[in-house]
Amino acid sequence: MWLQLYQFDKIQYSEIMEKKMEVTSERFLAILKSALLGQKANITEELLLEDWQKLFDMASIHNVLPMFYEAVYASPSLQQANVPFVVMAKRQVMQQVMLQTRRTSEFLDLNKKLHAAGVKPLVVKGIICRNLYPQPDHRQSGDEDVLVPADQFETCHMVMTEFGMQTAEDESNLLGAYEVPYRKMGSPLYIELHKHLFPPESDAYGDMNRFFEGVFDRAIVEDIQGVPVCTMGYTDHLFYLICHAFKHFLHSGFGIRQVCDIIMFANKYGTQIDWTQVLNNCKEINADKFAAALFQIGSKYLTFDPEQAAYPLTWRNIKVDELPMLEDLLSSGIYGDANMSRKHSSNITLDAVAAQKQGRKAKGSMLSSVFPSVSQLESRYPYLRKHPYLLPVAWCSRLWKYFRETKRSHDNSAAEALKIGNERINLMKEYGILK
Question: pLDDT tens digit string along 124-179?
Answer: 999 999 999 999 999 999 899 999 998 999 999 999 999 999 998 777 778 778 89
Mean pLDDT of 3-26: 53
- Average per-residue pLDDT in the chain? 87
Domains in the chain (CATH in brackets) are: 2-81 (no CATH), 102-331 (3.30.460.40), 340-430 (no CATH)
What pLDDT, on a 0 to 100 scale, did the predictor assign at position 403?
A: 60
| Portion of the chain with pLDDT greater than 90, in percent | 62
**Looking at the predicted structure, is the pLDDT value of residue 255 above 50?**
yes
**In the structure, what pLDDT confidence band is assigned to residue 412 with cuts at 50, 70 and 90?**
low
The pLDDT confidence band at residue 4, using thresholds 50, 70 and 90, is very low
Query: Which has the higher per-residue pLDDT, 215 or 413?
Result: 215
Mean pLDDT to the nearest integer, 214-240: 97
* First and final C-alpha spacing in the chain: 44
Q: Where are the beta strands (DSSP E) in 179-330?
A: 179-184, 190-194, 220-224, 227-231
The gap from C-alpha 122 to its chain's centroid, in whole angstroms, comes to 18
- pLDDT for the residue 20: 45
Q: What is the mean pLDDT of residues 104-121?
A: 96
- Between 48 and 215, name the one with better pLDDT: 215
E-state strands within 7-59: none
Span 314-330, average pLDDT = 96
The pLDDT tens digits of the residues spanning 177-212 come to: 889 999 999 999 999 999 999 999 888 999 999 999
Position 16 scores a pLDDT of 45
Helix axes 323-332, 256-269, angle to 10 degrees: 120
Using alpha carbons, list the distances in angstroms from residue 213 to 149, 196, 216, 219, 416. Answer: 11, 10, 8, 12, 40
Q: Lowest-pLDDT range, 145-159, 271-285, 407-421? A: 407-421
Mean pLDDT to the nearest integer, 286-296 = 98
Tens of pLDDT, residues 388-400: 877 888 777 766 6
What's the CA gap between 357 and 424, in Å, rounded?
A: 18
The residue-averaged pLDDT of 47-71 equals 93
The predicted model gives 283-295 an average pLDDT of 98
What is the structure's pLDDT at 398?
Answer: 67
Contact 339, 412 (CB under 8 A): yes
Contact 256, 217 (CB under 8 A): no
Under 8 Å between Cβ of 364 and 425: yes
pLDDT at 244: 97
pLDDT at residue 367 is higher than 90: no
- DSSP, collapsed to helix, strand or coil, labels residue 377 as helix
pLDDT of residue 3: 37
